[in-house]
Structure 1
Amino acid sequence: MPIVSIINQKGGSGKSTVAVHLARWLQKKKETVLVVDADAQCSSSKWLARLKKEIPCKIIQAPDELLDELPKLSEAYSWVIVDGPAALSETTRAVILVADLAIVPCQPTGVDLESASDTVRLIHQAQRIRRGDPKAVMFVNRAVKGTKLKDEAIEVLRLMPGVTVLDTVIHQRQILADCFGQNSTAFDLTGSTAGIARRELEQLFKKALEVLDG
């Protein structure tokens, strides 16, 4: 079954938030999900350990172990979500070499956009080696409402070949930043702010996973 990697060499891009929320969203759809934490900071595994709704998680960070274990694990779960490291390391390369889909969150800043181009280059290398896979999507994450930066960032990202750039934007919301401390996800919290965050995330996940079928 599909292996979905969340990658970006830039720290603070929101990889762990995307990985945990994607896993919880799939779980709520009655899918069996495993999260593999390949990031040395172990943010996603720490977060998952705090959730009331248990989501299986394994910490695997060695490149050779990822190459060996991820295909095996994908046979036991409907979805395997990999939270990649904040570096273009051999670990990142290993994750991309076995992933079916790479999701690249990118903040709308010049530094982040330049960093994203390096991540895309690594994806292209894997696509050449594997003759097509992984499919890849990028989206603007943590955008501030009412600014032109997000639209400009989308246009810059669209200049990068071989990657689908999603129109869906995830905006900067305090509730997403608070989820870890509340031992929860936006899919489990109540209130209008949580509802808005859920709708954005759900739209993002639907569009991203559609690329697998395209």
Structure 2
Amino acid sequence: MPTIAVVNQKGGAGKSTIAVHLARWLQRQKKAILFVDADGQRTSSIWLESLEEEIPFQVLQNPDELLDQLPRLAKAYEWLLVDGPATLSETTRALLLWADLALIPCQPAGVDLASASDTVRLVRQAQAIRGGLPKTALFLNKAIKGTKLKDEAFAVLQQVQDVEMLDTIIHQRQIITDSFGQGATVFDLTGTPAGTARRELDSLFKQAMEVLNG
């Protein structure tokens, strides 16, 4: 069954936020999902514990444990979704040696673009070992509308080779930032701001599925 790893070596890229929202999005489509928190900060598992509508999860942060457990878990669930650590550690390498899709969020800033390039380099190493897997999707996250920086960052990411650059951009929105504190995702919230954020995330995840299934 498909395994998706959300990875980026830089903290603050929005990795856990994307992973939790993707989990809820898949769950809303009646997918049997297990969320694996492989990030030492445990942001996603703390978030998942606060959700009113439960998403099953496990915390697995040791790379050997991940390589041992992921094959077994993949047989028990329709989908595995893994929130990787904010570092290019052995844990990240273990995830890329198993995942079907690596989803890489990147903020529109110079240091983040460099970090994304380092993550892509690690993905390429895994692809060389595995004969092309994992499939990889890169996208711009937490962008600010109407800024030159957003446009420049998008143009730079489009030049990254061997990965799919998703057209959908996720913009910086207070409703997304606040959803953690509310013990919810924007898919659980009402109102216009939540609806706008939902549409962006829905578009992003549909594009990611096209990469996975392509």
Superposed pair shares fold, TM > 0.5: yes
What TM-score does the superposition give when structure 2 sets the normalisation length? 0.99
CA contact (8 A) 1:154 1:167 kept: no
Q: Aligned partners of 2:209, 2:71: CA distance in 1, in Å?
A: 19
> Corresponding residue for 2:74?
74
After TM superposition, give the deviation of residue 68 of structure 1 in Å: 1.2
Per the TM alignment, residue 78 of structure 1 is displaced from its structure 2 partner at its CA by 1.3
> In the alignment, which residue of structure 1 is the partner of 2:205?
205
Structure 1 partner of 2:49: 49
Q: Secondary structure at the match of 2:161?
A: coil
| C-alpha distance in 2 between matches for 1:94 and 1:160 | 23
Separation of aligned partners in 1, 2:171 and 2:137 = 17
**For 2:151 and 2:205, how far apart are their aligned partners in 1?**
20
* 1:197 counterpart letter in structure 2: A
Alignment of 1:1-214 (within 5 A): 1-214=1-214
Q: Contact 1:15–1:83 (CA<8 Å) still a contact in 2?
A: yes
Runs (5+) with no aligned partner, structure 2 = none
Name the amino acid aligned to 1:41: Q
CA RMSD in angstroms, aligned pairs only: 0.6
Deviates more, 1:100-109 or 1:71-80: 71-80
Question: What is the rounded CA distance, in whole Å, between the counterparts of 1:131 and 1:155 in structure 2?
Answer: 28
* CA distance in structure 2 between the aligned counterparts of 1:76 and 1:162, rounded to whole angstroms: 31
Aligned AA (2:100): D
Amino acid at match of 1:203: S
Tell me which moved more, 134-143 or 146-155: 146-155
Is the CA contact (8 Å cut-off) linking 1:186 and 1:195 kept in structure 2? yes
Distance 2:159 2:204 in 1: 20
Three-state SS of the structure 2 residue aligned to 1:45 is helix
How far apart are the structure 1 equivalents of 2:169 and 2:155? 13
SS at match of 1:98: coil
1:4–1:103 Cα contact (<8 Å) kept: yes
Counterpart CA distance in 1 for 2:107 and 2:197 is: 17
Runs of 4+ that moved beyond 6 A = none
- Give a deviation string over 1:128-150, Cα, whole Å, max 9, x none: 00001000000000000111222
* Percent of aligned pairs sharing the same letter: 64
SS at match of 1:142: strand
> TM-score if structure 1 supplies the norm length?
0.99
